[in-house]
Amino acid sequence: MAVDALGIADPASVIGQRLEDRYRHVHATAMADVPICNSVLSVAATGFRSHGGRAIGIITTPWFMNLVAVDLPDGPGSDPVPPGSTVRMGLPAGEVEFIAGELETIGRVDSCSLFSPVFEFADMETALQTAEEAMRAFFDPMALEPPPAPLAPVNRRDLLRGNFRKREEA
């Protein structure tokens, strides 16, 4: 959990830890022995940070990996919406669609599914590396940069006439 210079825990990290604890409980109870679970994975919160009055991070469980958003205690609070509604949120890399939901002891948790189920992960280390890379991508404004324009196709006549070299020098 991230703490500042005074030893005060970052609110987004606290929410990440609360979500991790809650999903550990769900895994031990409601999801115990459910075939959709990947037995090599456990529950982890990755990269939780504050953004727009919400805690944003990734929750990995044996049955899903989701980008989640939860209101911060001192934040402005999200507009109320019915569970199951689509909610759009702007992140540095662009707009992301979440599904609004409720989680016992937590309250509203908006989720964007990244992987479900999570059988493609052979171990927890790989799942956590994927979660870390996904968080970097969601918060990297360079991800919005359009790809460079493709080079003009080489025309065989231009190549044979030496025009290709002139174009390359320009």
Task: Give the CATH number, domain containing residue 135.
Answer: 3.30.1460.40
Residues 6+ apart with CB under 8 A from 24: 42, 43
Burial class (CB in 10 A: 0-12, 13-18, 19+), 1: exposed
pLDDT value at residue 143: 64
Residue 5 included in any domain: no
CA distance 170 to 2: 51
The fraction of the chain above a pLDDT of 70, given in percent, is 79
What's the domain range around 82?
A: 11-169
Residue 11 φ/ψ region, left for φ over 0, alpha for ψ in the -120 to 50 degree band, beta for the rest: alpha
Write the pLDDT tens digit of every residue in 10-51.
999 999 999 999 999 999 999 998 999 999 999 999 999 999
The model's pTM: 0.80
CA distance 52 to 63: 28
Residue 6 included in any domain: no
Residue 39 included in any domain: yes
